[in-house]
Structure 1
Amino acid sequence: MIQRTLSRRSTLALMTAAAATPAFARQRAPSEDWAALGADVKSEFKWAWGHYVEKAWGKDEINPVSGTSQSFFIEGHDLGLSLVEALDTLWIMELDDEFRAGVDWVKANLDFDIDGEAQVFETNIRLVGGLLSAHLACGDPVLLAKAKDLADRLMKAFDASPHGLPYRYVNLKTGAVRDPETNLAEIGTYATEFGLLGQLTGDDRYYAAAKRAMKHALDMRSPLGLMAANIHAETGKFTSRNASIDVYADSFYEYLWDSWEMFGDAEMKTAAQECMAAMVAHQGHRYDGKLWFPMVDYETGAVTSTSQTVLGAYLAGLLGQVGLKAAGDDFLATYTAMQEKYVIIPESTDVTTGTARSKRTGLRPEFADACLNLWLGDRDDRYRGLAAIHYRNMKTTSKAAFGYTSLKDITTRPMEQGDNCPGYWWSEQMKYYYLLFADAKRVDYGRLQLSTEANVLRGFRTA
């Protein structure tokens, strides 16, 4: 049952409420040996890496139940996705032999001159970002050269659009583009990787292209301050009316704030603050006392879908980053309740009833991501405690013979496992856990900047 919608007045109340007493404040973490837990995360990561090396070396993804592998970008043509995604995590964990072996594989084998289509968004956040973070870790110029080569191929998708909105797919060899029916996430998640690449190469056209695409969408905000999630690269027009915080849109909003933190782009900082305030004012709804952000019509604010995905958990951390911490804590409490109810947060939830809409889930990292960002803000151990539960639940449910796997059914006991470890597992949640628990010696937490894929783009200690 819906209880109320957050008005502008209640938004201000959230912003000024005592952030020290969020909904889950009384759920204090028990006494915890954080260093020991961090060591456990490292041990599990090393164990899983050993199986990847044995069963799927150089392949995109390992299937940890069967010990087989599968391609991700181009069927039958692997680009070492999991390997590239794991590199900076290996380095942070001081697994230097494993890191060097991965770098050697990249230098000897990774070639992007492929007559095949790659999804532009995924290729950027996973491979361009992974190569850049590995370059920052070790300084090897070959890694930077490969990141630049790949980004130049992706730039063809931007150049083909009259509005600078990248098509969804580009042929890495020919530059041919496909699928202009795109969305905010896929046109607006390039600024950090492209901006860093521009800094490292002295070429500002990368960041300019990324910002142009974001600005195009921002300039079409409704009087409510909202954007529709779907957009057409050729017409430049929205193709839906749904404003979304998660599917089709999530990382667009992360990269507004990241553009400020990485490059000091004040225009993007203002846009981030305005977009977050509009979300809280017009998308924030309470159902049975819990704060959710369902899809709404971007011009009227009317709810258009009562589904919320686990991807949306990132917003709790982002709200804290932009100065709306009370709302961030409140939203994290919603996902905390789902974790308590289901052990593993459902892939999709009906916000009106708080019940799972799907039984499967894909080793999702967004809850741990939010815990890290909120913890970095005030170092309150309650966030580490929630992430520790998330980590232990993953160990209990998702550990298979040859690594960690997605789940087919979270409602069975024991939970029925699937058979795939997504590439982001190597870059995201295991890094989030380690950073939260281990006091990583190779990271300057005060300067730390992670991409949406958790690639470290600033904050390495390399001395």
Structure 2
Amino acid sequence: MNNRDPFNLHRSPAYHILRGTATRTAANVKQRVVEAGTQAFETGKQAVEDMSSFSIPKNVPSFTDPQRELENRAWGASGVTARTNAHSNGGVLSDMQDRVGGFFDKTRGDLPMYKDKPYSYAASRRQRPVWRRKRTFGIAGLFVFVLFYFLGYFGTHAEASKKAKNTWSWLQGPEKNAKQVDWLDRRERVKEAFILSWDSYERYAWGFDEFHPVSKKGNQMAPKGMGWIIVDALDTMMLMNLTSRLTHAREWISTKLDYDQNQEVNTFETTIRMLGGLLSAHYLSTEFPEMAPLADDDEGTPGEDLYLEKAKDLADRLMGAFDSPSGVPYASVNLQKVQGIPSHDDGGASSTAEAASLQLELKYLTKLTGEVFYWEKAEKVIQVIDDNGMEDGLVPIYIYAHDGRFRGSNIRLGSRGDSYYEYLIKQFLQTSKEEPIYEELWDETLAGVRKHLITYSSPSKFTILGERPEGLAKPLSPKMDHLVCFMPGTIALGATGGITEKEARKLPTWSVKKDEEMRLARELTHTCWAMYKAMATGLAPEIAHFHVDEPTLPESAPHQAPENLDDEENTEWKNDFVIKGNDVHNLQRPETVETLFYMWRITGDVMYREWGWDMFKSFVNYTAVEEGGGFTSLSNANIIPPVTKDNMESFWLAETLKYFYLLFSDDDLLPLDTIVINTEAHFFPRFKLGPLYKTGWQRKPRGPDGKILPDPPAKKTESPAVKVRTVVKTVEPVEPSAGV
């Protein structure tokens, strides 16, 4: 055991920052002590000489000046107190805690509006007696001694390390046994992280679509802004009951948000983030008004349904993307012209995931407005995709809008493929299981995934969901995007329908197939968690590759990945992972914590909560920005300290922190069997079809092999028989004339 560093603080990035700062401070203090000592000697000598010639000092402040009284009242009303009073608790990292923002102090008030506002008045500059100044010099010298003692120059600093551990114990590891953990307290830590992120955005980039927390500035995606961050975060603030911040956001939406702009936007991203965010805000604010009080609305007047009005206006503009010959939406749309625009890349083809991940939003909008053309546009896309008759439910990642045919044969559940599959099972659940066609499509997909895309790493046998970049007949690529980590939670959701596994197993519909699906969900979740543990910061890469056996093993092969990934003496399993230099960035993505949330709700295994807590600690420890900047994505998450990317994605607020918050919440907060969650973590209610809505299409007939049967040959139609009556005339022979 290292007695000089019993808690491994030297490995902490916070320690390295503190040590660098402290070393520079110590050098400065040492120099100042020497200079101050010399000056004190000269000043003392002069003081003795001037003892008999005392004079009133100049520039004495007036304590009756009206301006001073005004300033006193202003600073007193601000509620800003000295930093030491707010956060000092004796820990050696307490100053670092202040730099991160002090947001883990439960008694902390709101952050100051401006980072350079003083916390207290400056000390008086009035001359003090020589003996008091000598005491100051002595204290300064003692401070230098203690500082060097902590840095290890004078021996052990175990006691200081203990204080550091006590102050930041939640960053060093689980404080308590899982059974003793206060999960609602951990949820508050997530809420405070959201507040720090939001307040930083509000302070430095309010109204902008993009936020760069390191440089503390914002950018727009459209001339007047799209509300990209504000709208995306609405329902998270409602869940967290952040009413004052929500009121500010709602005011901006009411007075500033205008989609009538001559701007090309991505059809998919605008639908899932903006349309989905507005619809979710409408749902929560109407069904759960305690989450989002709307006292400023006047019933029956324009603006009463602000979120729904904005959603409908946006949806009507997005409809231009669906005006294609096939019904498959174009990749982009001009909001003002209501005109679809083909992709500028990929031969003009749309992404399959993007074209087929608009259905939850448009169907819910139909339910709210009664306008069925949203519904019809949405389900037409799925019909066109299915009419291609792809093998085993797996589809290429590009599709042409002009004819509805696929481009290429690249099959994957990562980027450009992922949410097509996600929305199949969620459409089935959204309409309360009254559209079995979507369950049929999901079942085919999952069977195809198990048959063609599952294999195991070598030698540790982690379960991998790979890719077929050249089609199903070509080799499997052992590559997993972090985006694929949505799949384990979605598999568990499909197996149980949103109720707990314990409840689902009691139903007559439970089967061996569902057992196998839950096993696969657990194994893939474990692999996604290992992607985090394999990195230096504990934050997953964008993409992971794996060593595999040749030929790759089928799903049925024996396998058992190591369970304990925290054993520092057994890290050979990391050799299964190949993290390439271009893939080491971390964009604050939500897919793994999303799956942890589903797995916790469905299985009840507290292990998934503990994994989530470790993930959250890594985000705080390595992505927090100094000077109240919030949190940033990383360009390199595999070195310490990591390289920052200077960007906060809107899904950090809309998805990642929301799923952490839900993971640590009680299960009765938005039960899974009453809602569906879109691919941007926005909430929609489940509903019955009723007499007004129905599935407007049918699948083409398939043979036993799943392939579409050819159309039967047209029957030959015979012309009606025409009876012809033959008339035979008897001609009498003519007698020859005489003389012939």
Indicate whether the TM-score tops 0.5: yes
Tell me what 2:307 maps to.
143
SS at match of 1:242: coil
Q: Are residue 156 (structure 1) and residue 320 (structure 2) matched? A: yes
Q: Is the 8 A contact 1:224 1:298 kept in 2?
A: no
Tell me what 1:376 maps to.
601
1:184, distance to aligned residue in structure 2 (A): 1.3
Q: Are residue 37 (structure 1) and residue 186 (structure 2) matched? A: yes
Q: How does 1:157-172 map to 2 (within 5 A)?
A: 157-159=321-323, 161-172=324-335
Tell me what 2:542 maps to.
347
1:267, distance to aligned residue in structure 2 (A): 0.9
Q: Are residue 260 (structure 1) and residue 455 (structure 2) matched? A: no
1:436, distance to aligned residue in structure 2 (A): 1.0
Name the CA distance, whole Å, in 2 between partners of 1:273 and 1:239.
24
Shift in alpha-carbon separation, 1:301–1:434, aligned structure 2, 3 A? farther
TM-score between the two structures when normalised by the length of structure 1: 0.89
Tell me what 1:19 maps to.
none
Q: Is the 8 A contact 1:218 1:227 kept in 2?
A: no
1:449, distance to aligned residue in structure 2 (A): 2.2
Moved more, 392-401 or 438-447: 438-447
Tell me what 2:531 maps to.
338
1:345, distance to aligned residue in structure 2 (A): 0.8
1:44, distance to aligned residue in structure 2 (A): 1.2
Tell me what 1:457 maps to.
684
Q: Is the 8 A contact 2:469 2:477 kept in 1?
A: no
Name the CA distance, whole Å, in 2 between partners of 1:146 and 1:388.
36
SS at match of 2:278: helix
Q: Is the 8 A contact 1:55 1:69 kept in 2?
A: yes
Q: Is the 8 A contact 2:422 2:490 kept in 1?
A: yes
Shift in alpha-carbon separation, 1:292–1:77, aligned structure 2, 3 A? farther
Q: Is the 8 A contact 2:410 2:471 kept in 1?
A: no
Paired letter, 2:483: L
Moved more, 424-433 or 435-444: 435-444
Tell me what 1:8 maps to.
none
1:321-367: CA deviations, max 9, x gaps? 22211111111111111211111111011123512121212111100
SS at match of 1:449: strand
Shift in alpha-carbon separation, 1:298–1:29, aligned structure 2, 3 A? farther
**Structure 2 gap ranges (5+):** 1-176, 287-303, 343-347, 496-516, 548-575, 687-740
Moved more, 108-117 or 298-307: 298-307
Tell me what 1:275 maps to.
445
Name the CA distance, whole Å, in 2 between partners of 1:54 and 1:204.
42
Paired letter, 1:269: E
Name the CA distance, whole Å, in 1 between partners of 2:647 and 2:605.
34
2:352 alignment partner, one of 184, 199, 203: 184
SS at match of 2:463: strand
Name the CA distance, whole Å, in 2 between partners of 1:208 and 1:425.
33
Q: Is the 8 A contact 2:224 2:258 kept in 1?
A: no
Q: Are residue 317 (structure 1) and residue 317 (structure 2) matched? A: no
Tell me what 2:216 maps to.
67
1:71, distance to aligned residue in structure 2 (A): 2.8
Paired letter, 1:395: V
Tell me what 2:474 maps to.
302
Aligned length: 429
1:391-442: CA deviations, max 9, x gaps? 1111111111311111011122111111000111111011101111032876
Tell me what 1:391 maps to.
616
Q: Is the 8 A contact 2:412 2:468 kept in 1?
A: yes
Shift in alpha-carbon separation, 1:332–1:444, aligned structure 2, 3 A? closer
1:264-305: CA deviations, max 9, x gaps? 322112111211121111111112211112211675343354
1:212, distance to aligned residue in structure 2 (A): 1.2
Name the CA distance, whole Å, in 1 between partners of 2:257 and 2:322.
24
Q: Is the 8 A contact 2:534 2:577 kept in 1?
A: no
Tell me what 1:24 maps to.
none
Q: Is the 8 A contact 2:486 2:595 kept in 1?
A: yes
Give identity over the alignment, percent: 29
Tell me what 1:363 maps to.
588
Name the CA distance, whole Å, in 1 between partners of 2:178 and 2:466.
30
SS at match of 2:392: coil
Paired letter, 1:329: R
SS at match of 1:193: helix
Name the CA distance, whole Å, in 1 between partners of 2:522 and 2:584.
26
Paired letter, 1:67: K
Tell me what 2:134 maps to.
none
Paired letter, 1:95: L
Tell me what 1:225 maps to.
393
1:226, distance to aligned residue in structure 2 (A): 1.7
Name the CA distance, whole Å, in 1 between partners of 2:250 and 2:285.
9
Name the CA distance, whole Å, in 2 between partners of 1:409 and 1:298.
30
Paired letter, 2:394: L
Name the CA distance, whole Å, in 2 between partners of 1:446 and 1:295.
31
Q: Is the 8 A contact 1:336 1:386 kept in 2?
A: yes
SS at match of 1:296: coil
1:235-292: CA deviations, max 9, x gaps? 2111111111111111111111111111132211211121112111111111221111
Paired letter, 2:199: G
Paired letter, 2:318: L
1:86 alignment partner, one of 233, 240, 265: 233
**Larger RCO: 1 or 2 (CA < 8 Å, sep 6+):** 1
Structure number with bigger Rg: 2
Name the CA distance, whole Å, in 1 between partners of 2:267 and 2:472.
32
CA RMSD of aligned residues (A): 1.8
1:177, distance to aligned residue in structure 2 (A): 2.2
1:171, distance to aligned residue in structure 2 (A): 0.5
1:126 alignment partner, one of 257, 273, 278: 273
Which structure dedicates a bigger proportion of its chain to strand? Answer: 1
SS at match of 2:350: strand
Q: Are residue 404 (structure 1) and residue 631 (structure 2) matched? A: yes
Q: Are residue 115 (structure 1) and residue 252 (structure 2) matched? A: no
SS at match of 1:146: helix
TM-score between the two structures when normalised by the length of structure 2: 0.56
Q: Are residue 50 (structure 1) and residue 213 (structure 2) matched? A: no
SS at match of 2:260: coil
Name the CA distance, whole Å, in 2 between partners of 1:445 and 1:245.
23
Paired letter, 2:333: V
Q: Is the 8 A contact 1:284 1:294 kept in 2?
A: yes
Shift in alpha-carbon separation, 1:281–1:443, aligned structure 2, 3 A? same
1:176, distance to aligned residue in structure 2 (A): 2.6
2:369 alignment partner, one of 190, 201, 210: 201
Name the CA distance, whole Å, in 1 between partners of 2:383 and 2:546.
31
Name the CA distance, whole Å, in 1 between partners of 2:585 and 2:256.
34
Name the CA distance, whole Å, in 2 between partners of 1:388 and 1:178.
43
Q: Is the 8 A contact 2:352 2:417 kept in 1?
A: yes
Name the CA distance, whole Å, in 1 between partners of 2:387 and 2:183.
45
